[in-house]
Amino acid sequence: MIKTSPSFGSLVPAHSTVKLYVSSGPPKKAVPHVIGKKELNAENILTNAGFRVAPPKTNPNSTQPQGTVIDQSPPGGKLARPGTTVTITVSGGGVTVPNVIGQSLQTAEGTLTAHNLSYQIKFEPAGPGTTPGTVVLQNPAPGRVVAPGTQVTLRVAQQQTTSPSPTPTPTTTSPTPTPSGTPGQ
């Protein structure tokens, strides 16, 4: 109740009408837009604007850097009363695909495993200037942010197998018989 009519403390006859004015609460204000902000920064912005923040949800498959706000409810810009609870969802952290081009297959496998990525190997003939057993191409490309566990396809130069030249069959000539005379004639 914010006021009465007649005003509080006034004497009025019994059974008189008294009007009560009730507040609808504080005026609504726009919820700050916090998507793209780091979790702690987003929480501070919301709290300083007069909103409460629910414990954040985490999306482990997000490709955004870990701890970055990727969703909020109510959304930024929506009018809400101060004290309204805002729920934010933060990224569990994507993985930046490392550059393994030019590495040996064994080194590339170790690098991808260390970055929580899986891999598939496809061999192709080694071209001029490529060393057999090295990665010549990868997909997704280096520097791309992907979800943990994403499969990276590695194209690996393979030693070209050369068929041995057929060994020539030696040709031998047998001696030609020479006519000989028969004795005693």
Q: Where are the domains positioned within the chain?
A: 27-91, 96-158
C-alpha torsion sign, points 124, 129, 134, 139: negative
The CATH class that applies to domain 27-91 reads: alpha beta
Check residue 124 and give its pLDDT: 93
* C-beta of residue 96 within 8 angstroms of C-beta of residue 144: yes
The CATH architecture assigned to 96-158 reads: 2-Layer Sandwich (3.30)
pTM recorded for the entire structure: 0.52
- pLDDT averaged per 10 residues, the chain (length 185): 78 82 84 98 98 94 88 98 97 90 96 96 91 96 88 92 58 58 55
DSSP one-letter string for 29-73? EEPPP-TTSBHHHHHHHHHHTT-EEPPPEEETT--SPTTBEEEEE
CA distances from 147 to 8, 51, 58, 68, 115 (A): 64, 31, 13, 14, 11
Q: CA-to-CA distance for 35 and 57, rounded, in angstroms?
A: 13
Match 């030693």 to its residue by tokens.
159
